[in-house]
């Protein structure tokens, strides 16, 4: 009798553990909402940029374009996290039911996902640094630029270490 009770409690625990992945679904839906808000923010920035364009200096134009690029990179980062997060943690996406799904989703590994995320974060940091350097004469202190440069350097070193360790672990398993 004790063996049956133990097996039943094990099954219940396993079902709870497997069902817990659905707790990620509201978080994924929240990120979809954040992406929608980001699109609204992008369109608002673009509209304001278009209205003010005639009276802007070249530096202001470049700063506005960099802001749009920054928002686009963040949107791409959100898309990667939304799609791969759902696929990796909730359930596989049926590609037959979603023929317009991105091709990269079917062949990206978890290590590849980490590298894509890190590359996006590095690009966002680099753009922030570039914007700060361009604003140096106007409103950004040299100390702020130094901190941004240090953050960018840290991201680059961390990305290189991550890529190296990922490559090393894949090579050790024979996954080329």
Output the pLDDT for position 107. Answer: 64
pLDDT at 29: 93
Q: At what angle do helices 142-173 and 110-134 cross, to 10 degrees?
A: 160
Taking alpha carbons only, the member of 161, 140, 158, 139 closest to residue 150 is 158
Residue-level pLDDT at 175: 45
pLDDT tens for the chain, 176 residues long, are 566 767 888 888 888 888 888 888 899 999 999 999 999 999 999 999 999 999 988 888 988 998 999 899 899 889 888 887 787 777 777 766 767 776 666 566 666 777 777 777 778 877 877 777 766 666 667 777 777 778 778 877 877 777 777 777 665 554 44
Closest alpha carbon to 65 in 90, 83, 42: 42
């Amino acid at each position: 009798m004790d063996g049956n009770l133990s097996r039943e409690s094990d099954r219940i625990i396993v079902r709870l553990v497997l069902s817990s992945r659905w707790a990620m679904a509201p978080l994924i839906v929240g990120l979809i909402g954040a992406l929608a808000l980001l699109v609204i923010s992008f369109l608002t920035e673009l509209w304001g940029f278009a209205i003010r364009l005639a009276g802007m200096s070249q530096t202001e134009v470049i700063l506005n374009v960099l802001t749009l690029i920054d928002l686009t990179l963040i949107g791409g980062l959100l898309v990667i996290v939304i799609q791969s997060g759902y696929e990796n943690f909730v359930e596989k996406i049926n590609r037959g039911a979603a023929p317009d799904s991105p091709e990269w989703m079917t062949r990206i590994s978890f290590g590849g996902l980490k590298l894509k995320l890190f590359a996006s974060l590095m690009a966002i940091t680099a753009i922030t640094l570039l914007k700060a350097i361009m604003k140096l004469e106007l409103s950004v202190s040299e100390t702020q630029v130094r901190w941004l440069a240090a953050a960018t350097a840290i991201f680059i070193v961390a990305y290189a270490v991550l890529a190296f360790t990922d490559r090393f672990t894949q090579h050790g398993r024979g996954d080329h």
